[in-house]
Structure 1
């Protein structure tokens, strides 16, 4: 039996040049967007969107969702601190049940904030049970996700900086066969690799070959701070013959001009985590640099150990820091501000349709285009932090926050209604709090037992 939902009378920001922006109606049929017009009559469940701004769901192209259980544990951390405080302290302690609890709560956090798609960069596969638990959490939350299978993290010395331990191909194949035999589901798969500098060349080659054997995309951190910045990772990948359009490069703060050209020429994609990059010392978010090279940068949250987990924060961080950088350079050179200065519209594109492009899902989501899956967010623009609305794009990018996220649909299914998640939030919170209690206690015991 066909299911139909009619979102009626909203200010629609479609992120599709052919559809445009309009005050009108959006019809959903069997999980897909069927029509977007000023007036639609249909036998359907009606969602009254009067006073609301209707946008595509946000797309987060890189989040370590497993870290939701240790939220806020490293507010003052630099990137160097992160390797010790998170990957060498908490990560080895994670049980599969902790990963499940964190992924469930973390994915619900995304939905609550209007993020309908997340790339879950899951480098916590300490046992074969860990990836199963991570995927279960994503499934139960009902989010659209690309599960990026990463390495174990039981020892900083073993898994980072010239590591000789590759991601286990047999288990990656098992996960692919078990959960992702089709690439058309709500969940899809990628490989989260560490790359050159973090691994020896043989490991790098083997991981890239594994992903390409299985036909899944690759996602890797590059060009960040004193750590990966000094490795010249894009140059090394090029020397290894591994660059390609199936790879997303995260951060990219320290690229030479040659490396930018290599990424652009190879068809690679870019994920930027601006709040983390400026706060933890990765470098300036390379928003305009990527655009200047013909790329379509996306936004990501990265780690909730150190920054908020919502897209509004990332939009404003990228917007503010990039404009501050350009303004300062122009002031110093005593020249006019360029016409290419970032706009609010640019930021909304990065958070939606660009994110879908980077996640390889632009044919399914990222814009309110008839034929795409219905990943839709209604923002309550009647609230005082958004009202009165003059420019809807500005209202979304520079005024709204999580409190305005009233209704969220993923694949046509309502997962948040009237400002409340359609989920057992209390159970999810209890699970992630129990995981926190265990991890914090175990970390404290290890620290006490460590030799002075």
Structure 2
């Protein structure tokens, strides 16, 4: 099966190939086989004239299960979130609610041009919950790293010096059942809570479990009033647990020593800019990561409070970082530095850096021959983008979800002509039914009318 994407403005995100003002992308089965200015091939043709062709976005941290309670906490701080979501909605989630949310949430990603997702799934209240989450991801067709997290049946039990470890037997079951190979569309990670949230024995047991199973680790660190005080990286260093297999999320309140420790250990960084500035985690530390030789990626985090698309994240990080630097320079009456963030920096973080952080840079994140065919077409003819002078600017600062015309994952077209090729009505009905149940359950627990 061969597909030829023909005549678009191609942003490969591959330094060797660069940008093609007019280029073609040839896909054979699930892989990109050529990216050139002109390709002649016997293939099904997708006319990309007037379109911007990019690799799919990579979201390196999203609690996809929360799609069923979208918008429930619009004004929440991080402290509010722990109570309003993790101590209210999470305990009443059924496995079927997780399935509905993961299916709808993954389709939301595809609709927005996100072809790879790290699903930070801390909703494993029973062994049926991870099965349901994985089934939702499978049915959507997205490329995903399923990060197995803790249960969430009690805030006190799971998030304040918790003595309850993620159940190793069930993690092993999930690894053997669904992820015996690391070469599939879905791969596995462990979503740990880390020091401060858990006692030392639990932290050590979870890191040991992940390394025993040879799966990467992902953990929230250095965010907000509480977690910013924990010195989590320094503690992990004292435990001897830092390593290149770990992604650190947020990182807003790191000491210089902690940045150095992460960089020296080969760790990776995921930043959720809109959540961080909106919920009080701290300034998105994009330039801090870059200055320490790291390659920061972007993530959505929670749709309970922020939009679920990558366009929002690119702009939030770009605007917040430049606002911070401009204000500091104004106060000090000095010129702005030469390393101010650029629009291209943001596209790098949303694509190839994301693949790097998810451990999938060898298969996605750029339009490189030999990599998997994860491709997105942005409609540059739309009135909010035309006329396109700089395609990078158009994608990063002009486009929105309505401009995502075509989405291809692993060589399979998942969206075409602006419409998802999925049973969206069924997915929406499922997530709406889950919402109704969950809202009712929370209201009953609080003794309030629905």
Matched, 1:176 2:153: no
Deviations 1:285-337 (A, max 9, x none): 00000000000000000000000000000000000000000000000000001
Deviations 1:391-416 (A, max 9, x none): 11000000000000000000010000
Supply the distance in 2 between the matched residues of 1:395 and 1:157 (Cα, whole angstroms).
46
Supply the distance in 1 between the matched residues of 2:18 and 2:243 (Cα, whole angstroms).
33
| Superposed counterparts of 1:119-198, under 5 Å | 119-198=118-197
- Shift in Å at residue 19 of structure 1? 1.1
Deviations 1:330-377 (A, max 9, x none): 000000010000000100000000000000000000000000000000
Supply the distance in 2 between the matched residues of 1:385 and 1:318 (Cα, whole angstroms).
21
What SS is found at the alignment partner of 1:191? strand
What SS is found at the alignment partner of 1:278? helix
Q: Number of matched residues?
A: 448
Supply the distance in 1 between the matched residues of 2:286 and 2:325 (Cα, whole angstroms).
11
Supply the distance in 1 between the matched residues of 2:108 and 2:102 (Cα, whole angstroms).
10
Supply the distance in 1 between the matched residues of 2:246 and 2:226 (Cα, whole angstroms).
20
- Shift in Å at residue 70 of structure 1? 0.1
Q: 2:200 matched to which residue of 1?
A: 201
Supply the distance in 1 between the matched residues of 2:270 and 2:146 (Cα, whole angstroms).
16
Supply the distance in 2 between the matched residues of 1:310 and 1:97 (Cα, whole angstroms).
24
What SS is found at the alignment partner of 1:378? strand
Q: 1:427 matched to which residue of 2?
A: 426
Deviations 1:114-169 (A, max 9, x none): 00000000000000000000000000000000000000000001111100000000
Supply the distance in 1 between the matched residues of 2:43 and 2:185 (Cα, whole angstroms).
24
Q: 2:96 matched to which residue of 1?
A: 97
Supply the distance in 1 between the matched residues of 2:370 and 2:108 (Cα, whole angstroms).
27
| Superposed counterparts of 1:42-53, under 5 Å | 42-53=41-52
Supply the distance in 2 between the matched residues of 1:98 and 1:321 (Cα, whole angstroms).
35
Q: 1:274 matched to which residue of 2?
A: 273
- Shift in Å at residue 63 of structure 1? 0.1
What SS is found at the alignment partner of 1:40? coil
- Shift in Å at residue 189 of structure 1? 0.1
TM-score, normalising length from structure 2? 0.99
Q: 2:19 matched to which residue of 1?
A: 21
Question: Structure 2 unaligned runs (5+)?
Answer: none
Supply the distance in 1 between the matched residues of 2:430 and 2:17 (Cα, whole angstroms).
43
- Shift in Å at residue 449 of structure 1? 7.2
Supply the distance in 2 between the matched residues of 1:378 and 1:201 (Cα, whole angstroms).
47
What SS is found at the alignment partner of 1:62? strand
Q: 1:5 matched to which residue of 2?
A: 3
Q: 1:440 matched to which residue of 2?
A: 439
Q: 2:86 matched to which residue of 1?
A: 87
Deviations 1:410-429 (A, max 9, x none): 00100000000000000000
- Shift in Å at residue 24 of structure 1? 1.1
Matched, 1:69 2:80: no
What SS is found at the alignment partner of 2:228? helix
What SS is found at the alignment partner of 1:230? coil
What SS is found at the alignment partner of 1:27? strand
Supply the distance in 2 between the matched residues of 1:160 and 1:393 (Cα, whole angstroms).
41
| Superposed counterparts of 1:12-411, under 5 Å | 12-22=10-20, 23-411=22-410
Deviations 1:244-303 (A, max 9, x none): 000000000000000000000000000000000000000000000000000000000000
Supply the distance in 2 between the matched residues of 1:73 and 1:221 (Cα, whole angstroms).
22
Deviations 1:167-208 (A, max 9, x none): 000000000000000000000000000000000000000000
What SS is found at the alignment partner of 2:437? helix
Higher mean C-alpha deviation, range 16-25 or range 297-306:
16-25
Supply the distance in 1 between the matched residues of 2:95 and 2:229 (Cα, whole angstroms).
34
Supply the distance in 1 between the matched residues of 2:434 and 2:290 (Cα, whole angstroms).
41
Supply the distance in 1 between the matched residues of 2:117 and 2:172 (Cα, whole angstroms).
22
Q: 1:415 matched to which residue of 2?
A: 414
